[in-house]
Structure formats: structure tokens, C-alpha cells
Amino acid sequence: MSHDIKLNSEHFVNRELGLLAFNKRVLSQAEDERVPLLERLKFLCIFSSNMDEFFEVRVAGIKDQIKYNHQQTGPDGLLPKQAFAKISAEAHILVAHQYKILNDVVLPKLAEENIHFLRRTSWNDAQRFWIRDFFFRELMPILTPIGLDPAHPFPRVLNKSLNFAVELDGKDAFGRNSGIAIVQAPRALPRVIRLPTEIASCDHGFVFLSSILHAHVNELFSGMTVKGCYQFRVTRDSELTLDDEEAKDLRIALQGELSHRQFGDGVRLEVADNCPTEMSNFLLGQFGLHKEDLYQVNGIVNLVRLMQIPDLVDKPALKYPPYTASKAKELIKETDVFKAIRKQDILVHHPYQSFNAVIDFITQAAEDPDVLAIKQTFYRTSADSTIMKSLIEAAKRGKEVTVVVELFARFDEEANINWAAKLENAGAHVVYGVVGHKTHAKMAMIVRREDGGLRRYAHLASGNYHQRTAKLYTDFGLFTCNEEICADVNDVFAQLTGLGKSNKLHHLWQSPFTLQSNLIKAINKESEIAKSGEKARIIAKMNALLEEDVIRALYDASNAGVQIDLLVRGVCALKPGVLGVSENIRVRSVVGRFLEHTRIFYFLNEGEENVYLSSADWMYRNLFKRIEVCFPILDAKVKKRVIQEGLDIYLKDNINAWEMMPDGTYHLAHKRGTQNSAQQALMQMYGQDLPPQETSKS
């Protein structure tokens, strides 16, 4: 289809600025008075964690482009230096606002609830004595202060570790006078210490590890005067640079590379706001950083470590009500999962419905003497994965177990390496997919002997086989024994484990071969339908929308009269509502208790209503550099559920939804009338022992 619209850089949002906009929406949860107080503290920590990864990966990439003088622009038209300037300015604003929320809102409200973070200036004698004892007993024996001189150069500071720069005056026992020492806080110790109730003089009293060290730092430098002590934290480039084409064994090569991640190039320096300019400049120089890389914060520099606080405070009223997921109704009466799947396709909606359905699928397969083979992909999984343990047991029982483990799942590489080794030791076939393409597809297939022949069962999903995140991320999973879909899944596994040309698949769209082209065909078909005067409609839900050709096709479809709703949780490079370009496109982002992770693609197609679920977002990497699958929902009842629970209910949300404006900014979608929360409604629909959803008029 020809692109009749003249597009320019004004019609595209920069990827990094879009990610910061998403993090701003996360940060807004910490300001929302409807969110329980300890959950607001968690959102501050989640924001910090998101920003850490943003600097480790995205900012590090931009800095590399600047370093090597790359002059190529993206669709947004920004050169790397221009993009970095905008990113740095916005990031500084967001971080300053984060600490303002912490200091002016969250901490005072916690104090009202008798939850106190005791500062050094307010310690009474009993607290001071207890803390001093803790320092000498728990902290001092494992501290290693390093005085800087020719024999002691600046230490290799670990990525995101808590450190202190200490200004000193005087000479030590050897007559040395360096003036500066570095103290690295032990990673083994928590960053927040809980005081006994009788010592704290309140129900919940905490003291920061940094405060304890500040108060007693002079004990580390006998006979010298401590002029100042300043906490700092450096964030490093965490992208791995393994040459996977040169490596003979990816697992062994990756194991050797992981240790270097902690010492990549510096990309950000955080210091407390009491750190003088001279010391900040000294630290910047040590890490090869510049003024724009410095973040002076009003509080502790490792805010993400406050994530432990809600678990230490027994105040249910300050947390989300407990949620117990229900069991898929198809599996309540019929405990034999294979018998249940033979009756009908089964859809499970996480976290509203229990992930145990997936665990049972693999566990029963491991124990069933009629099951001959199990094949499964893994991108991310938990350290205590029941599914992995079941696969190991199945292999020990002599079943053919084949597991495709993605070694390059960012920040989960070490966990995946460990599972791969355990699986191999049990006799499973372990492969690492295709060199140069991450295996991101979520697939499991079981081959079972039935009625004198073999029957295949498949599980396909939008989310990972991770039993912990399945309680926090929204995802759909489909169980089916449809012969054509199972044949497609088998062909994809054959590609991943063997060699040969890809076969034409019956139903699945697959990256990097057919997914992008089929998406554009489906979008263009809606355009042609709209041009013929018929109703045309596209609804898509995903984590990110960045792929330029897909965006251009959507702009064309809008111009042809297709009504388009996009539910994009994170970065969206497309701008909606632009006159003559995207007047028929609406973009919204839902940010709430659960992380929206589902990928759903709906095309009206003259009333046929084609609905697909996928592991892939509409990004270049997903569509061309990863192994992904997109699968249709063929069962009419299941399709109706996906449309209702995954799309319609989110388009009505006016509590947790943000609407994107034509200029790329976001506004809360609050409207008059009944208040609707998609997540709350789904919890009410499927949760056990949950109070009715509150509705109000405004």
C-alpha cells in the first residue's frame, strides 16, 4: 500500500523520551491518594528500578553512539547528542520530583502511621547506643576503607553499589595524607535496619545503613579527622558484548562475560545533595562522566532498596487487599488437564486466574506414563521454578525433554545458565535457540500416546513461564490440542532445535519471517474495507509500539477511515489525533496494581473479528531480531472472552488509564460518571473473597 501521507520527525516520539514518559506515569502512582500508602512507597522503588535499567541499557546505548560519533537519526529526527540532552533534562526533573514525593508526602504520611525513618539528628541516647553497638558488631568487621594514594588507586566500584567518599585531614600511622578515602557498603547487609520496638519508641522504627556509617565513619580512620562523608552510587553500562558468532559454546562464553557487567563504563553518578562540588567533580572524573551525568538527590542514593519496607510492616490497611486468583472453571471439575483440553480450548487470564493451570500442565505431563515428549521455551523463569523441576523429573524418568533456554534474557542470564546446566545433567536436550535471534516465544508442547496413536497438546502465551511474575503481570495463556496449531508449534520447535528452511505455517505468524508482514497486511486490509465504505476497526494492546513501517501503515489506515484504539502500556512512537495524519487513532496507557503485559491484536475484518495473542510487541527487535509467535483465537467463546477482558474493559477504564495527546504527552483519562477500573473489575470477576468494586459518581 502506498504511503500518501507526508510524514516527518514531528509525527514520531523518541523512544527514550517515550520510556521516560512511561516512568512518569509509574511515578504518578506514588502521588495517587487512592493507592495504599505502602504501595505508593513501592511505586517510588519501582520507578527507581526502572530508571536504573533505563540508564544501564538505553542511556548507555545513546552514550555509545555519541562516543563513536554516529550521525544517523531515527524517525524522530534527533541526533544522539540532541536526544541525550533532552533525555538528561527530563530525567533530572523526574528524579527531583521523585524525592520531593518521598520527602514531602510519603515519609510524613508514614510517620502519621507510626512508621518512622530515624535520622541521625533525632536519635535519643538509647537509639544511639543500640546503633553504635550494631555498627561495631555487624558493620565494622566487614568494612574495608581504602585510602587513595599511589599504592591504593581508586577502587573498582561495582555497578549500583552504595559507596562513601570520605574527606580526611591529618596523617596516618605511616605518615600518609591522601585526603580522600572510599568506603564500600557491604552488599550482604540490608540498606534499612529495623530497630527493636522498645528502642525505636514507635511501632515501626527504621534507620538507614548510610546513617549508621555516617555517624561512625570516624571509627574507621583512627587519629585522623573526618571532614565530610558523602554517599554515592554509579550506574554502569550493563549490555553484554559477547561475540556470539565467535563463541564455540554460548553458555561457557556467557558465563565468562557476566562478571564484567558489574564494571562497564559509567553512565550516571548519584550523590547526596550535601556532597560539595569539588568532591562531585572528583567522582565524575573517576568514572569518565560529565556534569549532565550527575544526579544530586535529597535522600539516600539507593532508593530501590526501600522495596523491603512493606514486607517488614504489618499494616494491611496500608497495602493492597490480598488477592487470591481463581482456578480456570474448565479445570475445576476436570482435574485431568489433557481430558479438559480435549473437550475445548482453555484460556487462562493471569493474574486473575491462577498460573497453577500451567504448572499442572507440565507437572501432569512429567508424571503421566503416556506422555512421551515435552518441549518448552524459556525466556525468564523464577529461581524456584516448579515447572523447571518437573521438566528435570520428566527427563530423569526417561521422557524426551527438549528445552529452548534463552541465555541472553537481559539480567536473567545467570539464572538461565544455572537451569540449563541442571536440565542437561538430568538428561534433557537443552538448546539456546538461533544465534543472533533471541527466543522470546512462549510455547510448550506435549506429545502423548492416546488411542493407538500420538496426540499433541500446546500451550501458547503472551507472558513468561514465571510463577512469581504471573501474580503481578497481566497475560493470557491458551491450551489447545488443535492439530494445525500444534503442527505449527512443532515446526517452530524444529527450527529452534535443528536446521532447515521454515515451513509455511497454518495459523501462526512468526518472527522474523511472517509476523511483521502479516500485521501490515491485516492493517492494510482494514484500510481497503474502510475505503469501500464499510466499518473498519483495529484494536491492539501491547507493551511498546515503535516499528516504523507498522506505524506508517496505521497512519494510512487512520487516513482511510479505520477507527483505531491502541492500548500501549509503555513507549508509543505514534502520535494520535494529529490532523490529516492520525485523527482516527486513540492511544491510552493503563498503569495500576498489575503490570500490563498482554499482547492482543484485533481486526474487525468485515465482522469476522480476527483476534490474535502474541509474545511480541510492535518493535523492530520483536519483529525482526527475535523468535516470536502470534497465534489466532479460533474458539468463538474464547475469542469473546479475550475481546471483553483484554480490550473492551480497558477502553472503558477512567481510573488508571492515561490518554496520549497529539503532542505526545499524556493526561489522565478521568471522566464524569461511573468510575471504571479494568484491573479492579477483573479482580472482582475472578478473585476469591474480594469485596465488591467501589463505584462512584464525580
User: Mind listing the pLDDT tens digit for each residue in 642-653?
Assistant: 999 999 999 999
What's the confidence (pLDDT) of residue 696? 32
User: Mind listing the pLDDT tens digit for each residue in 579-609?
Assistant: 999 999 999 999 999 999 999 999 999 999 9
Question: Is residue 446 over pLDDT 60?
Answer: yes
User: Mind listing the pLDDT tens digit for each residue in 63-92?
Assistant: 999 999 998 898 999 999 999 999 999 999
What is the rounded CA–CA span in Å between residue 599 and residue 618? 9
Selecting among 216, 440, 459, 597, the annotated active-site residue is 440
Q: Looking at residues 371-392, what average pLDDT do you find?
A: 95
Q: Which residues pair with 511 in a beta bridge?
A: 628
User: Mind listing the pLDDT tens digit for each residue in 255-314?
Assistant: 656 566 577 899 999 999 999 999 999 999 999 999 999 999 999 999 999 999 999 999
What's the confidence (pLDDT) of residue 173? 58
- Map grid coordinates 551525568 to a residue: 293
Question: Is residue 689 over pLDDT 60?
Answer: no
Active site residue 440: yes
Of 80-84, 428-432, 433-437, 677-681, minimum mean pLDDT range: 433-437
User: Mind listing the pLDDT tens digit for each residue in 177-198?
Assistant: 668 999 999 888 899 999 999 9
What is the rounded CA–CA span in Å between residue 271 and residue 47? 18
Residue 463 confidence class, pLDDT cut points 50, 70, 90: very high
Residue 466 confidence class, pLDDT cut points 50, 70, 90: very high
Q: Looking at residues 435-464, what average pLDDT do you find?
A: 95
Residue 503 confidence class, pLDDT cut points 50, 70, 90: confident
Q: Looking at residues 86-108, what average pLDDT do you find?
A: 98
Domain with CATH 3.30.870.10 in the chain: 334-503, 510-686
Q: Looking at residues 651-674, what average pLDDT do you find?
A: 92
What's the confidence (pLDDT) of residue 51? 98
What is the rounded CA–CA span in Å between residue 42 and residue 29? 9
Grid cell in block for residue 135? 555498627
What's the confidence (pLDDT) of residue 223? 83
SS3 251: helix
User: Mind listing the pLDDT tens digit for each residue in 210-250?
Assistant: 999 999 999 999 888 999 999 999 999 987 665 555 555 55
36-39 — which CB contacts under 8 Å span 24+ positions?
A: 36/317, 36/318, 36/319, 36/320, 37/106, 37/109, 37/110, 37/113, 37/318, 38/110, 38/309, 38/310, 38/313, 38/315, 38/318, 38/319, 39/310, 39/318, 39/319, 39/320, 39/593
Mean pLDDT of the chain: 92
What's the confidence (pLDDT) of residue 239? 79
CB 352 within 8 A of CB 685: yes
Q: Which overall architecture, per CATH, does domain 11-318 show?
A: 2-Layer Sandwich (3.30)
What's the confidence (pLDDT) of residue 415? 85
What is the rounded CA–CA span in Å between residue 302 and residue 284? 18
Residue 33 confidence class, pLDDT cut points 50, 70, 90: very high
What is the rounded CA–CA span in Å between residue 78 and residue 664? 15
Question: Is residue 691 over pLDDT 70?
Answer: no
CB 217 within 8 A of CB 166: yes
What's the confidence (pLDDT) of residue 21? 98
Pick the CATH number of 510-686 from 3.40.50.1100, 3.30.460.10, 3.30.870.10, 3.30.300.30: 3.30.870.10
Which residue has better confidence, 4 or 93?
A: 93
Question: Is residue 654 over pLDDT 80?
Answer: yes
Which residue has better confidence, 674 or 103?
A: 103
What's the confidence (pLDDT) of residue 441? 97
User: Mind listing the pLDDT tens digit for each residue in 511-565?
Assistant: 999 999 999 999 999 999 999 999 999 999 999 999 999 999 999 999 999 999 9
192 CB-near residues (< 8 Å, 6+ apart) = 117, 206, 207, 208, 209, 305, 306, 308, 309
Residue 697 confidence class, pLDDT cut points 50, 70, 90: very low
Dihedral of the alpha carbons of 436, 382, 398, 335, in degrees to the nearest 10: -120
SS3 538: strand
Tell how far CA 403 is from the center of its chain. Answer: 23
Question: Is residue 132 over pLDDT 60?
Answer: yes
What's the confidence (pLDDT) of residue 150? 65
Question: Is residue 342 over pLDDT 90?
Answer: yes
Question: Is residue 468 over pLDDT 60?
Answer: yes
314-318 — which CB contacts under 8 Å span 24+ positions?
A: 315/38, 315/113, 315/115, 315/204, 317/36, 318/36, 318/37, 318/38, 318/39, 318/113
Question: Is residue 2 over pLDDT 60?
Answer: no
Query: For a pLDDT cut of 90, what percent of the chain falls above it?
Result: 83
CB 653 within 8 A of CB 516: no
What is the rounded CA–CA span in Å between residue 397 and residue 378? 21
The fourth-level CATH superfamily of domain 334-503 is: Endonuclease Chain A (3.30.870.10)
Residue 1 confidence class, pLDDT cut points 50, 70, 90: very low
